Amino acid sequence: MSTPNDQFLADFAAMSRFGATPGGGVDRQAGTPADHATRQWFGEWLARHGFEETVDEAGNQFGTIELVPGAPYVLVGSHLDSQPLAGRYDGAYGVLAAAHACARVAQEARVAREARVARVAREARVAQEAGAKTTAPAYNLAVVNWFNEEGSRFAPSMMGSSVFTGKLPLAAALATTDSAGTSVAQALAAGHRTPDGTAPRLAGVAHYAEIHIEQGRNLEESGSQVGIVDRTWAASKYRVTVDGAQSHTGATRMEDRRDALYGAALVIAAARELAAEFEPGLLHTSVSELYVLPNSPVTIARQVLMNLDLRSPDEDVLNRAIELLGKWIADAGERSRTDIALETTHRWGLVAYQPGGVALGTASAEHLGFTHTDAMTVAGHDSTNLKDVVPTVMLFVPSVDGVSHNEAEYTRDDDALRGVELLTEVTRRLVRGELATD
């Protein structure tokens, strides 16, 4: 008979076949056929393991198990969507770990209840024992697969959890279109399930827990088996528009050119060089997703659209970087004779996770004998949204060489299994009501 660990690895292998790429990764952007196929497989998994599957209007997929009629939920999850040509672990590992953790805790609760009932039948007074009371669950269980965490097909990222937590209006999310003009509403309509109003709501959630691959190499370097996330890096993300003038690549005199691609190139170089203005590790900068118009041979670009993001573990550094970037971009515009505009698309500060949740995660790791460290998350996660509204526990497992958003993304089986065990212990404690909320 296979062990729970064998089952987890077999399920993970089965799930990784959806949208599988030749290089060993997956490609299942939000609302694509590959994402829907994964969601359907996951829905069937939930049904086979005693969960009731529901979806909400924003496409978030839930699996609930009732332990205490009418009680709020301990919600545990992550996301099944991926970046293009991405790894198997980012998000998907956390959803499957959550499902296994909840199934294990639900099974334990059922066994404990049967034992209590048997004891009551034998001797009514035994039921009064404090021990019997404290092991009883205080909350219900819900697994969640947040819709469109990646934001690669539909911006912004963390869309489903943003709607759930009231940070993004549902109508705005549903009206968002991809580059081909397909809306989120249209993409969701192709799914195997439609919302019927029974999915969990924020008001019914007591606590949230999530486990994710680290996507960096701090755990590996510190020799820690697990990370307990205590803060997010601050981030500022922008949509950059560089406007020039379309003209002939050969015939136009150099001094007459207003080349949007040249302006964009200067911005890209400025963003990269900005990081070198600060101590190593204090600023991460990137430019991504370029659209060059008309992107045609023998034609100088009239416009370039791109994303720029700045992240730092220090808000002062981030603010100084933003100021400096503004000057460098003005200079880039002058040199290239283009108009460069920045629009803020996403911004979050250096926000702490609740100390009670960090303490519960740490106590769980110690109880299991896992080496652990406090960790900051550089990447945004659905828990970045959830922690602002409910007490949250966020956990990391190591990523080999810190590789992520790449087909080579990898977490060793023993690390992945330790993470499931840790998330199970955290879920067990949350369901018992052990999280001190201060």
Contact residues: Zn ion, CB under 5 A: 90-91
Q: Which amino acid is at 207?
A: H
By C-beta, is 91 or 357 nearer to Zn ion? 91
CB of 432 to Zn ion, least distance (A): 28
How many other CB atoms are found less than 10 A from the CB of residue 130?
7
Torsion of CA 265, 270, 273, 275, to 10 degrees: -120
By C-beta, is 91 or 137 nearer to Zn ion? 91
By C-beta, is 79 or 100 nearer to Zn ion? 79
By C-beta, is 148 or 224 nearer to Zn ion? 148
CB of 206 to Zn ion, least distance (A): 24
How many other CB atoms are found less than 10 A from the CB of residue 24?
13
Q: Which residue is nearest to Zn ion (CB)?
A: 91
CB of 142 to Zn ion, least distance (A): 19
By C-beta, is 262 or 396 nearer to Zn ion? 396
By C-beta, is 135 or 406 nearer to Zn ion? 406
CB of 94 to Zn ion, least distance (A): 7
CB of 79 to Zn ion, least distance (A): 6
Question: Helix or strand or coil: residue 235?
Answer: strand
**Closest by CA position to 99, among listed 157, 15, 35:** 15
CB of 393 to Zn ion, least distance (A): 16
- Between CA 30 and CA 156 the distance in angstroms is 12
**Closest by CA position to 331, among listed 249, 271, 257, 245:** 271
- Between CA 393 and CA 4 the distance in angstroms is 23
By C-beta, is 63 or 91 nearer to Zn ion? 91
- Between CA 320 and CA 309 the distance in angstroms is 14
CB of 141 to Zn ion, least distance (A): 22
Length of the chain: 438
Question: Helix or strand or coil: residue 381?
Answer: coil
Burial of 437 (0-12, 13-18, 19+ CB in 10 A): exposed
By C-beta, is 90 or 243 nearer to Zn ion? 90
CB of 410 to Zn ion, least distance (A): 15
Listing DSSP states for 119-172 in one string gives: HHHH-GGGGG-HHHHHTS-SSEEEEEE-S-SS-SSSSSSSHHHHHHTTSS-HHH
